[in-house]
């Protein structure tokens, strides 16, 4: 058991540095766009682009991951989306999606 | 609290509480996502401490998940740069979210503004944008949501990690797909009008093409930018 606990708390200077590097890269993204907007005029065109951005990010992430995940991912993601559309409950929709993925994988799809 | 610099933008205690309240409904599914991260981390060489520190220091679910694929036991500077680059790519969507918050958080004092950007996440951003679309001006909503999500995100990593050490194959339960599942659910409240459809479909199509042809995770940025550019340059009359 104590061996297990030692494993849980293992960390090296370099792995900590890796975590900090991920933090730095992430913070640059978080603050970078904000900083950029101090230098970019907010025209109607820029505004329209920004408005379409969140949905575009979602689609650009989900569709390729769905293709990569094959049938179980496609069935699960579609079902989760439809459940959310119908019930507007995130937890129920997420669980429905997970159950569909698990069922599809168990069926050998 | 002291008044902020830009007139009209406030930061109040009541706003912070309201931000916490608006976040409660998404907390269960967020926790599940956080636990899935802990579970996935336990399947790599990452220790529990490293997983929890990642959640509290990096605080970016999708990027952390992708980062796990590059996690290793022995680190070189090149490997560290590599993981930072991938994490930056996946998170580049935050550049655009930060940009859209500018007109709002720009009203805060610099000492508050720059630290508050650390708490920018998909979820707190969506909550804030929804609130602002209804005419809200209290930046406390953004910070309250961000702080609560940050606390919970790191905490739920622990049970996720511990449970996964006991479950032999968490992918059997679809846990590797929690991130895209969570993402697609966010699309539903974003839907405003059928004008959104064209840029969104362009984003999905371009991302898929890039995914098929370019290795790595460049497809996210490429697709997202294609969608935003489509919306920006689509002629007005073609918009439904």
- Residue closest to B107 by CA, chosen among B3, B6, B10: B6
Q: How far apart are CA A37 and CA B106, in angstroms?
A: 10
Could you tell me if residue B215 is left (phi over 0), alpha (psi between -120 and 50 degrees) or otherwise beta? beta
Of the candidates A36, A54, A90, the beta carbon closest to that of B185 is on A90
> Most B CBs within 10 Å: which of A23, A59, A76, A82, as the mutation test of the B interface?
A59
Tens of pLDDT along B103-146? 889 889 999 999 999 999 988 998 898 898 888 899 999 999 99
Q: Is pLDDT at B1 greater than 70 in this prediction?
A: no
CB-based contact (8 Å) between A39 and chain B?
no
**Residue B100's pLDDT band (boundaries 50, 70, 90)?**
confident
**Residue A1's pLDDT band (boundaries 50, 70, 90)?**
low
Of the candidates B58, B96, B190, the beta carbon closest to that of A19 is on B58
pTM above 0.90, yes or no: no
CB-based contact (8 Å) between A9 and chain B?
yes
Q: How far apart are CA B50 and CA A19, in angstroms?
A: 8
Residue B227 has what pLDDT? 93
Residue-range domain boundaries for chain A: 1-40, 52-109
C-beta atoms of A90 and B28 within 8 A: yes
**Residue B231's pLDDT band (boundaries 50, 70, 90)?**
very high
C-beta atoms of B178 and A55 within 8 A: no
- Residue with the larger pLDDT of the pair B1 and B93: B93
Give how far B112 is from chain A: nearest CA, Å. Answer: 13
Residue B4 has what pLDDT? 42
B 64-83 near A (Cβ less than 8 A): 64, 67, 71, 74-75, 79-81, 83
Tens of pLDDT along A48-94? 887 787 788 889 989 999 999 999 999 999 999 999 999 988 889 98
Residue-range domain boundaries for chain B: 13-188, 191-240
Counting one residue from A and one from B, how many pairs have CB atoms under 8 Å apart? 302
Residue B240 has what pLDDT? 46
Q: Is the ipTM of this complex over 0.90?
A: no
Q: How far apart are CA B156 and CA B37, in angstroms?
A: 9
Q: Is A9 helix (H, G, I), strand (E, B) or coil?
A: coil
Residue A3 has what pLDDT? 79
What average pLDDT is seen over chain B?
A: 87
C-beta atoms of B50 and A11 within 8 A: yes
Name the closest residue on chain B to residue A45, using Cα atoms: B232
- Residue closest to B126 by CA, chosen among B30, B9, B230: B30
CA distances from B105 to A24, A34, B128, B136 (A): 20, 9, 11, 13
Cβ-proximal residues to A109 (8 Å cutoff; 6+ apart), any chain: A70, A71, A72, A75
Cβ-proximal residues to B63 (8 Å cutoff; 6+ apart), any chain: A22, A26, B86, B87, B90, B91
């Amino acid at each position: 058991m104590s061996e297990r606990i030692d494993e849980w708390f293992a960390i090296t200077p370099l792995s900590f540095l890796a975590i900090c590097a991920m933090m730095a890269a992430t913070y640059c993204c978080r603050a970078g766009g904000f900083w950029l907007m101090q230098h970019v005029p907010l025209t109607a065109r820029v505004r329209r682009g920004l408005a379409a951005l969140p949905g575009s990010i979602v689609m650009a992430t989900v569709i390729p991951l769905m293709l990569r995940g094959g049938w179980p991912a496609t069935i699960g993601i579609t079902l989760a989306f439809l459940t959310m559309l119908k019930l507007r409950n995130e937890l129920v929709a997420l669980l429905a999606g997970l159950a569909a993925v698990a069922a599809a994988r168990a069926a050998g799809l | 609290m002291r008044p902020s610099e830009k007139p009209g933008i406030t930061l109040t205690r009541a706003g912070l509480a309201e931000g916490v309240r608006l976040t409660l409904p998404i907390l269960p599914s967020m926790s599940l996502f956080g636990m899935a991260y802990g579970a996935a981390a336990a399947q790599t060489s990452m220790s529990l401490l490293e997983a929890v520190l990642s959640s509290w220091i990096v605080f970016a679910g999708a990027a952390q998940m992708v980062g796990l694929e590059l996690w290793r036991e022995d680190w070189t500077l090149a490997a560290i740069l590599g993981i930072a680059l991938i994490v930056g790519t996946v998170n580049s969507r935050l550049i655009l979210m930060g940009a859209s918050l500018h007109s709002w958080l720009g009203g805060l004092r610099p000492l508050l503004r720059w630290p508050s950007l650390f708490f920018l996440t998909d979820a707190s951003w969506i909550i804030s944008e929804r609130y602002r679309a209804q005419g809200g001006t209290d930046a406390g909503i953004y910070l309250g949501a961000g702080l609560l999500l940050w606390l919970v995100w790191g905490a739920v990593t622990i049970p996720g990690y511990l449970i996964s050490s006991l479950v032999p194959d968490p992918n059997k339960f679809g846990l590797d797909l929690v991130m895209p599942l969570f993402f697609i659910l966010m699309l539903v409240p974003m839907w405003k009008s059928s004008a959104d459809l064209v840029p969104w479909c362009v984003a999905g199509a371009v991302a898929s093409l890039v995914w098929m042809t370019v290795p790595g995770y460049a497809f996210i940025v490429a697709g997202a930018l294609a969608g935003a550019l489509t919306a920006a340059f689509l002629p007005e009359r073609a918009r439904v």
